[in-house]
Amino acid sequence: MDALDRILAQESFGLDDLETLLSLEDPDERARLHAAAYRVKLREVGPVVHLRGLIEITNVCARDCLYCGIRQGNDALDRYEVDEDEVVAAARWAWDQGFGSAVLQGGERCDARFVDYIERILQRMQGFAEGGLGVTLSLGEQSEDTLRRWRRAGAQRYLLRIETTNRDLFAAIHADDQDFDERLACLRLLRACGYQVGTGVMIGLPGQTPADLARDVLFMRDQDVDMVGMGPFIPHEDTPMADSLGDFDRVRGEQLERGLMMIACVRLVLRDVNIASTTALQALAPDGRERGLRAGANILMPNLTDTRFRAGYQLYDGKPGLAEDSEASTRALQRSVVAIGETIGYHQLGTSPRYLRRRG
C-alpha cells in the first residue's frame, strides 16, 4: 500500500491529507482519487442522479463581484426579469417531466418588490406541486425576515456559496461593501430558518493554493452542510478579472482537473451530501458533467430558462447550451446519465441523506 492508498483508506481526513489529494498531478493518481470517491458515492447515496430544473429568473444584481458576468457594474449587459407566469410555467414543466426539484437562481436583490415576487412564485409552485417538488433558492444574502417568508412560502433548500474561506482572497474578488463575516452569518442563519443548507466555492482562483481548497472542504464539513454546489473559476470578459489567469486556453484542462478533484474530496469527507456536477465543468470539456458524476457528484441541473434570456445570464465566458431548449437540455442529460450506467431519480425529492439523518 503506497502513501496515496493509505490516505484514501482513511475514514477521516485532516488538512494535510486533503492538501496532498488536491496537489496530485499524476493522471493515474487522480483517477484513483476519483474512483475512491465514486465508491463512497455508491455506498452513501447510490447510483442515482437527481435532476434540479434550473430557472435563471433575473440577471439584475445589486452586487459588484469582480468575477461575475452579471455584476452591477457590467454596462454591456441587457438586464431582464422573467415574468412570474413564465417562471411558474417552467417549474410546472419540471414537475410534469418528473423532476424532483427546481432551482430559482438570480442576481442578489433585497428590494421589497423582488421579495414579494419570489414569495408569490413559491406559493404558486406549491399550489400545483403540493409539496412534491423540492424548491431550492440561490439568491444571495438576505435578511432573516425575507428568508423566513420564503421558507413559509414553500422554499426548502438554499444555496449560498461562500466562494472561498481565505479571507484575503474573498476580499480580493469582491467589492468593498461585501464582508466575509456577513456572508458567514447569513449561511448560519439559513439553518436557523429551517432550510436544507448548501454552499460551495470557486476552484482555481488566482493565488488560490491546494491548502486554501483543503480548508474550504473542512469548512463545509464543519458547517455540516446538506448540499454542495461549486465549480472551476472561468473568467468573464466584461469583468475586472477577465485576464487574471492569462491565456485561459493554457490552463483550461487544469481548471477542469481541479474541479473534479474538489468534487472527489468533498465526497470523501462529507460522504452523504448532495453534490452538483455543474455546467462550468461542461464549459471546460464536453463530457465535464459526466466526469463530475464519476468523481462523486450526484446532482445535475438542466437549464429550463427560456432561450431568449440565456445569453443574458452568463456568469462566465463560454457557457454551453445557450440555444438549447428545456427538452433538448434534459434529453442530453438523460442520455449522459444512462451512458455512465446510472439512473435518474424521477418523482423523487432527492433530499440529501445527511439532512434526513440529522432530522432523525
Gap between the Cα atoms of 114 and 312, Å rounded: 19
Q: Who wins on pLDDT, 222 or 333?
A: 222
> Sorting pLDDT into bands at 50, 70 and 90, what band is 101?
very high
At residue 277, the pLDDT reads 97
Mean pLDDT of the chain: 96
Determine the pLDDT at residue 125: 95
Q: What is the pLDDT of residue 238?
A: 97
The mean per-residue pLDDT over the stretch 135-150 comes to 98
Percent of the chain with pLDDT over 90: 92
| pLDDT given for residue 200 in this prediction | 98
Return the minimum-mean-pLDDT range out of 56-65, 124-133, 158-167, 287-296: 124-133
pLDDT band at 65 (very low <50, low <70, confident <90, very high): very high
pLDDT in the model for residue 131: 80
Per the model's pLDDT, the better-predicted residue between 328 and 247 turns out to be 247
Q: With a cut of 90, say whether residue 99 has pLDDT above it.
A: yes
pLDDT band at 343 (very low <50, low <70, confident <90, very high): very high
Asked if residue 290 lies in contact with residue 336, where contact means CB atoms within 8 angstroms, the answer is yes
pLDDT-derived band at 353 (thresholds 50, 70, 90) equals: very high
Q: What is the pLDDT of residue 359?
A: 86
> What are 33-46's pLDDT values in tens digits?
999 999 999 999 99
> Is 122 exposed, middle or buried, given 0-12, 13-18 or 19+ CB atoms closer than 10 A?
buried
Alpha-carbon span 86 to 291, nearest angstrom: 33
Residue 142's SS3 state is coil
Q: For residue 130, is pLDDT > 90?
A: no
C-alpha cell at 72: 452591477
Q: What's the mean pLDDT in 289-306? A: 96
CATH class of the region 13-359: alpha beta
Q: What is the pLDDT of residue 332?
A: 87
- DSSP string for residues in 232-291: E----TTSTTTTTTSSHHHHHHHHHHHHHHHHHHHHHHH-SSEEB--HHHHHH-TTHHHH
266-279: pLDDT as tens digits: 999 999 999 999 99
Is the model's pLDDT at 74 over the cut of 80? yes
pTM of the model: 0.97
The confidence score (pLDDT) of residue 1 equals 65
State how far the Cα of 240 lies from the Cα of 245, in Å rounded to an integer.
12
Query: Helix axis angle, 144-153 relative to 180-192, nearest 10°?
Result: 40
Q: Which of 276, 287, 279 is nearest to 317 (CA)?
A: 279
Q: What is the mean pLDDT of residues 174-199?
A: 97
